[in-house]
Amino acid sequence: QKNFKKLDETCQKILKYHLKKMPDKKIARKIKINDVSYLKKRKHLCKEKLIKMIKEDPKYLSYLKDKNI
């Protein structure tokens, strides 16, 4: 959750709506993006950014070390 809150507000909204299984077209309307393909690209970038932040998080690295992963 800490990493999620570091994302910009638009990324947070996109990912929240996505996790609620909201269709891309509806997400685009809600956050005022006219192009659904742009929304898909933005959603992908938001996911990538979140994954990167999690992988760089010291707690995550410590967890991996403890689990010998």
Question: For each of the chain's 69 residues, which pLDDT tens digit applies?
Answer: 899 999 999 999 999 999 999 999 999 999 999 999 999 999 999 999 999 999 999 988 888 888 876
Residues whose CB is less than 8 angstroms from the CB of residue 13 and which lie 6 or more positions away in sequence, other chains included = 27, 30, 31
**What pLDDT score was predicted for residue 66?**
85
By C-alpha distance, which of 40, 43, 50, 51 is closest to 7? 50
